Each structure stands twice: as C-alpha cells, then as structure tokens.
Chains A and B, each alone.
Chain A
Amino acid sequence: MFVDARQLDSGQVIDADLCIIGAGAAGITIAREYIGSSIRVALIESGGMAYDETTQSLYEGENIGLPSFDLNVNRLRYFGGTTNHWAGHCRPLDPIDFESRQWTPHSGWPINRSDLDPFYVRAQPIVGLGPYQYDDLGYWQDEIGSPALALDENRLNTVVYNQSPPTRFGPVYEKELQDAENVTVYLNANVLEIESNQDATQVTGLKLACIEGPPLSVSAQVYILATGGMENARILLLSNKTNPAGLGNNRDMVGRFFMDHLLLRPGAEISLSDPQTDYSLYSALHRVHDSQMFAILASPEGLLRREKLNNFRLHLLRRPPRYSQPLGRVFSRIDGLKEEAKQLDANPLRQKNRDVASLHLVLEPTPNPDSRIQLSSRKDLFDQQKIEVNWQTLDRDLHNARRALELAALEFGRLGLGRAYADIFGGAQRWPNNLEAGRHHCGTTRMSENEQTGVVDKNCKVHQLSNLFVAGSSVFPTIGYANPTLTIVALALRLADHTRAMLTRSSA
C-alpha cells in the first residue's frame, strides 16, 4: 500500500522488519521480491508520485572537478527514481570487469560474473527485456538480416545490446506495490540520518522529515540504502552522530572512487569510402519478437589483457560530421569501390553529409580515490549539507580513449570502409571539449573484501555495521562499459535473497 508520510502523526515510529530507503530501480526491485511474504517491508521515498521542484532541489550540489552535469537534473527524486528518465540500454558486465586487473589500479570485485549470472537472467524481464541472449549474435541476426562488420576479433568485436522500452519502474510496478499487504511505500519521507548504536556497529533507526509534514522515525531489523550512486554516500556521511566521519566510514572510503562512464560523442567519425555501406545493425534499433536490440563495437577480452586497457564500447551512428572534407572518399578506389558504384558528388561538402558514420565512445574509467563526493558547506532546506562532486580522471583514461578510437580507425581502414577523424588523434594531451559523463554514478560505497579497500562486503553489507546494506551502482568497484541498470537490478535481486534468508533465520 501507499502512505503519504505527511499525513502521519508527528513523532510516529514506522515499524517494519525490513526498511528500504529509496524507491528507484534497486529499491522497488527488492520490495517486489518480498511481496506475499510474512516479512513487513517499509519502502521510504523522498518524493511523491510525480516530479516536484522543491523535493528535487534536495539533489542540488556542486561540481568542483571535471565539468560534468547538473546534479539536480540527471537524477530524479520521486517514486521510480531515475528510471523515470533512463534511456533503457542494457547489457551485463563482462566477466573481466569483475577481475582484479593488474593494469587497472583498485580493480576487482569480491564476486565473479558467475555469481551474478542467475540474477542477470531474473533481472531481464524486470527491466522489460526479452530472452537473455547477449552472447549469441546469430540469434538476432537471423531475424534482422543486417550484416556485421568483418572485424579482426583481436581488435574489436560485435556485441549485442538490449533496449528496454525503457521500463519506468514507478508506473509499471505501482499497482503491485499498492496491492501488496506486507509492503508499505511511504511517500514524501526524507531520511535525514541513519542512527546507530554507540560504537556505530548496528543501525537502530532512521530519522525522517517531510517538507511540509511531521518528523518521523523508522525502526526495523534490517536496512537497505538504495538512494543512488551519490545520495547513498551523502546519507552515510551525514549520519555522523556516533562516528564523526560518517557511518561505515572508519577508513575514509565513503564517497571516494566516484566514477562515471567517460563519453566522447562523437569520439571519432568515419568518412566512408562507399556511401552504400550498410551498418544498420549498429546504427538502428531492431525489433525481434518482443525484444529490441542494437549492436555495438566492443573491446575483446584478449585485447584488454594484451594492451592493458580498460573496457570500452563504441556506438556506430548516423550523424552529421564535424570534419570539413570527406577524406574517406579520396581513397574509394583503393578501398575497392568500383567506378560505376561511386556516385561521386561534385561538391565534397554535400557529399560528406551522406557518407559518415559517427563513433560514440563509452569508456570504463580507472578507479581513483581522489575522484570523490564530499559534503559541502552549503545546506539544503532541511539544513543538511549538500554534496560537492570532485570528478577526476587519470592520464591512462585519456590514453585508453585514444587507443580505443585508434583501433576502430585501423579496422575501418583495414576493411576498406573509410578513414577516421578524431580530435583526440595525434597525441592530444587533454580531453576534447566534448568529454561528457555518462550520468552513471558509481563507486562511492564500493564492494570489497575488507574495510581497508571499500565500504560494503560481497553481500552489500556495510563492513562496519551488522544490519545496514547498500543497493545500487555505488557498490560497483569498477564499471566496465555496460550501462549500470541491469547490474543494479541483478544485484538488488541477490541482495533481496540474502536479506530474506537473514530475516527468516532471525524470525525462526
């Protein structure tokens, strides 16, 4: 059922077995897993059922590192969270993403891809996707009929991406939660602090406030923090009554290792030798039965090991080019285009708009402890400190980006498809002006073997606390190239199983 927390009595204690903070992809997924069980679940959501400017303003913060994005815009603070405007791109992380890679400092999850495999399969329908068929390109190609590029698989390969409708978790799962007898969604309830026992080893409750409503509190056995990659860290840092550094932060790890995908859109552009080149497998969205897919160019595992690179993907799209002359057409004859097929336009400027393939790079960043979220001196309307984001990259990230684009350029040249243009080619020492963040906030409560290297353990439990868990992309120690939502949902399912077993044991 749904309850507007503003209508509750002042000082009321919400009593539950499990309290989930945040009704986004992770929070809603976990709550749904409990429907019909004997476990009483309270799902605490800051917003209401729709966007509200005042509530949204609680997300305001500052960027003090690389120019990034408006913190108040790319996250959404109402029921359904940021799934209310996500793009829907889905793919599991690669097995290598979980490994401790010698060449990528601070890499390595305490779990493997195989630990998540069954949860990825379960996550697939939750985000509105069809069969779990990421490894079989043929499954899709048989239906689509578009050719894949004949890539040298030591350099690049063609990989399947799935496209969610995209599923808006709020509207899609509202009725299920409304009808659930053991799950109560408290709307317009903001968590100000997670309270703990004296030595900050066990959560004892939550302090809540409403923008126009009473102060409230929560008492539960188990708590799951699921408020997104930035806010998870903020709430832990704000919960500093018993531990001045913040809950779970004895080792100054909360908020560090902030990561986001590094985007260059475009990273490079291919001036095609042949205007008839068919790359629609990559550039178009294809519907196959009840699913939608597109293909990407991705880094083979062998390449990453050989060249000590971070993971990356490239989208191949039809976009107007930024270069001024279609240099690829100069080499059409060398690339094997027959005289009769050339259809040259006398005006190169007109020609260039027809013959371009735009390569958008999505690069895995290197985990960096100096890239971090901290509390700032500015306050929100609850007099709580806002965040400042110091997003940083390393020189090796720039090298990785350049190398990824060079590899694509080499492949397009080798295949006789065209020539590549990129701002970053030729030893550029700085990021091009079009560097963007992927708006995938990760790493600030990273998963690790121990509290020296992270915030949560392999079960997403905060190392230093017995009954506090974290859900969402803030637990990712590395982020590969895949969009995070499918992994967020898979991890949420795994966490739901874990906490259910824990609660069941304690009630027995």
Chain B
Amino acid sequence: MKNRRTILKAGLLAGGGLLFAGGNYYRQQQNARKAAGQWALFLDYSDLARATGRSLLKQTPEWQSLSVVSMLEQFLQRLQIKATSLQAMSNDELLAFLQARVRMDFIEESVVFSDGWLLSKTEAQLCVLASLSDGLDPEKT
C-alpha cells in the first residue's frame, strides 16, 4: 500500500497538470476530482469534512456554479501557488502554504459561517473540494 504522503503528492501533481494539460472535459474533471481528493488528505475526519463542504456549497451560490476545475483553480490562486510549481514542492511545503493562508484568513477576517461554525475561507474551500471529490477514495487510486 502506498503511504499517505506519496499518494498526496501524486494527486497534487495530477491536479497541477490538469490546469494546463488541456484534453477533453471528462478527463479534466476526473483529474480535478482526484486532485481535490488529494488536497482533502490534509483534513481529518473526511466524512465530516465532506459534509461541511456540501453544506458550504449549498449556502454559497457563487461556488455552486463552479466546476471542480474552477474551484481547484480558485483554491490554488488563494494559496498563491502556481500550478506549475506544484511538482517542485514537498508536502510539508504545501502544508506550510495552507497553514500560512489559513492563519492570514483569521487575521484578515476572511471567514465564512457555516451551520454555526466560523471557518477561514481557505479551509472552507478545502472542505468544498473534499466534498467535490466525493466518490473517490484517494487511498485506492
């Protein structure tokens, strides 16, 4: 069995690749779902994370209309990571980006409310990505 870190990196590469690889729509979506699932590995309690993501999607009209590809793009933009740089980054570096952005969200009050919870926008997007990856189990890819 591949370890979690190896899987995570592989998935992120796929996610980065899809943004400039072109290809048919179905394949792009599949890759994006896979990448979303990999990013979701930075979360624990995956069922709860996905449920939170679904709830956030329901209450956020501007996200509802986005494809998983666009959502992933927005997320990477939020992290200020270029898709092409993903290959060169370690998981620890990616996590550090995520941590820094979430912390900055709480400083800047870039937050959302979901079912009584106050969440940073970045982690809210991450939960949404987790929910969009629903049906894919990264451990089995």
Contacts and interface: CB of A to CB of B under 8 A. Distances in A.
Interface of A: 152, 323, 325-327, 329-336, 342, 344, 348, 406, 409-411, 413-414, 416, 419-423, 425-427
Interface stretch (B12-20, B22-30, B65-73, B106-114): B106-114
Given A425-B117, A425-B118, A333 B106 contact: no
B123 A331 contact: yes
Interface of B: prevailing SS: helix
Q: 4 closest pairs, A vs B, by CB?
A: A426-B113, A414-B106, A413-B106, A409-B118
Nearest to A406: B118
B122 to A, nearest CB: 9
20 contacts: A325-B48, A326-B48, A327-B52, A327-B119, A330-B43, A330-B45, A330-B48, A330-B52, A333-B42, A333-B44, A334-B42, A334-B43, A334-B99, A348-B45, A410-B106, A411-B106, A416-B99, A421-B116, A423-B116, A425-B118
A329 B99 contact: no
Nearest to B127: A330
A160 B52 CA distance: 37
Interface in B94-141: 95, 98-99, 102-103, 105-107, 109, 111, 113, 116-120, 123, 127
Contact of B95 (A333, A410, A414): A333
B32 interface: no
A420 B45 contact: no
Contact of B99 (A326, A336, A348, A410): A336
State the main secondary structure of chain A at its contact with B.
Answer: loop
**Range for the number of chain B residues in contact with chain A:** 20 to 34
Nearest to B103: A414
Most buried by A among B52, B116, B120: B116
B86 interface: no
Given A334-B95, A406-B118, A421-B117, A413 B102 contact: yes
B8 to A, nearest CB: 11
Contacts of A419: 117-119
A105 B78 CA distance: 42
Contacts of A334: 42-43, 95, 98-99, 102, 123
Nearest to B102: A334
A336 B98 CA distance: 11
A187 B135 CA distance: 77
Given A413-B120, A425-B118, A332 B44 contact: yes
Contacts of B51: 325
A409 B112 CA distance: 12
Nearest to B49: A330
Given A331-B123, A334-B98, A422-B116, A414 B107 contact: yes
Contacts of B116: 323, 421-423, 425-426
Contacts of A410: 106-107, 109, 111, 118
Contacts of A331: 43-44, 102, 123
Contacts of B43: 330-331, 333-334
Contact of A327 (B48, B106, B113): B48
